[in-house]
Chain A
Amino acid sequence: MIAVRNVSKTYGRLGRRTLALDGVSLEVQKGETLGLIGPNGAGKTTLLSCLLGFLRPDSGSIEIDGKPPDDLSVRARTGYMPERLGFDRDLTGRAFLAHHWRLSGGDRRRTEEEIRAAADRVGLEPVALTRRLRTYSRGMLQRIGVAQAMLGDPQWLFLDEPASGTDPLGVALVRERILEAKSRGTTIVLNSHQLPEVERVCDRVVFIDRGRWIREETLRGESATARRALLRTDPARTHDAAEALRQAGLPPISEAAGTLAFAVSRDEDVAKAIAALVAAGIPVFEARASADLEQLFRQGA
């Protein structure tokens, strides 16, 4: 478990100090995926830096499995991907991955095998591994960054904007890798502005603004809150569908050209809405429930 207790952090010199974190507390359970959300300058990266031991909190404490974040036994099981891959650009992709495999304490005899597997996982062709990093596109750098973070199947994964600058295929690939790590029981902390991606992979999100913990929302399971469902029906029957939803106790938030949105508190509410429409003889073309993080983001900010 990752435990952050009342962590504060200030930057700058006397007289010009900036409070980057102001008494933030949170916990990430084993196997959980937590999303950090907030506007630019909110303190998310500072929090991530504290979680990785790059910054030391002025007050409060951070423990990962009961140990400080810079404990070597913790680091041996940690994967980290920065937003910008500022590594030796003269290295080839292969040398970069091999270097990180060895640094992570991996078995040297398995280096080649691990590199191939890591590159495969993020869709990097073997020929790309022979090229120097400085010739890589932004998307390729993100991919190899994800590959190095996941070398050796770490127990804790800290990802900072992992899909930033990648094409839609790259975004999907990064998502798949995160979900794959999640299915293995990896505890993940994700800092991202891509709200739809956060929604797809995170179990919980924490809103941070001006260095403060503002609120948190559970996106999965029974305690999931503040979700919204979208129903698509025959545009000619929009009004009838809205009426049917009202009668089912699920009044629409918006209705336009066959698309109706309404608030749901449980997964059963979506089933209830579909049943109400079908019972009224109104076709349902599509039903989708989402956490509507954008709305939550606006409320949080």
Chain B
Amino acid sequence: MSEMVRRFLRQKSGSVGTLIALGLLALFAALPLNANQGFGPAATLAVLLIAAGSVSRDISSGAIQMILSRPLTRSEYLFGRYFGTLLTYVGFLISSVVIAFLLGRLFLSTSPLAEAPAFSWLAAGRGAVEAIFAGALLAAIVLFFSTFLRGWGDVLALVLATILLGSTQALGRQLNKPALVQAGRIASENLYPTPDWSQILAGRDILSVPTSQYFLALTCYLALATLVFDRREFSYGQD
């Protein structure tokens, strides 16, 4: 599996386009981080950028056949991609924190906005851990979709699913249908749980329902991805 993680990291670091995009996102993430406001939506975009097509691209290029002809289980391949995504994401978060620190030292301390709260390593560290938890679930969902959808279909499916979950509750409220609102809420809580990580990291609500929903969802997405990928067949070329 370590070889698969290495390959993932090499693929990402070898793509100039991905590196530039991640660099820009790190800059955008650094701005709210500098004011101790977490990573913001840039971190979510970074996970999507890193995880997009992680399996489907290997399938469409035909690389998967060469890999699977080697003594490597399909689960090892899949988890190699997953941990590769997480490691790249951790690298992104570290870069964002460093950029935020440097921004604080170089510009903001000398600007008229100097009354803004000073950069805190502790707050940035907590923000990074929260972002890792959130990113781990997002990456698992994208990985699951990537095992059976082509190209960017995985990210597209995630976006559509998010819209669908959000709109179900909105539609229920609009139509004054409490059952629909309830169904939307339950679906959201179970399919894409978002525990309050700041509370959990502060030592509160560790064994709460949202926490268990999060870990259950994470396990389910990874198990489903393994199940789907294990049953997949890979044909190639012309007879």
From B11, B63, B73, B236, residue with most partner A Cβ within 10 Å: B236
Residues of A close to B73: CB separation below 8 A? 72
Q: Give bound CA distance, A84 to B237, whole Å.
A: 8
B234 touches A54 (CB 8 A): yes
Interface-side segment among A101-109, A178-186, A257-265, A274-282: A101-109
Instruction: Decide yes or no whether A204 CB sits under 8 A from chain B.
Output: no
Question: Residue of A at shortest CB range from B73?
Answer: A72
Q: Is A44 an interface residue (CB 8 A)?
A: yes
Residue contact B233 to A54, C-beta cutoff 8 Å: yes
Q: Across the interface, do A45 and B63 meet the contact criterion of CB distance under 8 Å?
A: no
- CB-based contact B67/A84 at 8 Å: no
**How distant is the Cα of A102 from the Cα of B71 in the complex, in angstroms?**
10
Output the least CB separation between A28 and chain B (Å). 17
Let me know if B15 is at the binding interface, CB within 8 A: yes
With A75-B70, A90-B11 in contact, do A55 and B234 touch (Cβ < 8 Å)? Answer: yes
Q: Does A93 contact B (CB under 8 A)?
A: no
| Docked-complex contact A43 and B62, CB < 8 angstroms | no
Residues in B with CB closer than 8 Å to A126 are none
24 contacts between A and B (CB under 8 A): A11-B235, A38-B239, A42-B239, A44-B239, A45-B239, A52-B69, A54-B236, A72-B71, A72-B73, A75-B72, A76-B71, A79-B69, A80-B66, A80-B69, A83-B236, A86-B62, A87-B61, A87-B63, A87-B66, A90-B11, A90-B15, A102-B3, A103-B70, A105-B71
A-B pairs, top 9 by smallest CB distance, nearest first, are: A86-B62, A80-B69, A76-B71, A103-B70, A90-B14, A86-B61, A54-B234, A75-B71, A72-B71
Using a CB–CB distance below 8 Å, which chain A residues touch chain B? 11, 20, 38, 40-46, 49, 52-56, 70, 72-73, 75-76, 78-80, 82-88, 90-91, 95, 99-100, 102-105, 148, 158, 160
- B-to-A contact residues, CB < 8 Å: 3, 6-7, 10-11, 14-15, 61-63, 65-73, 233-239
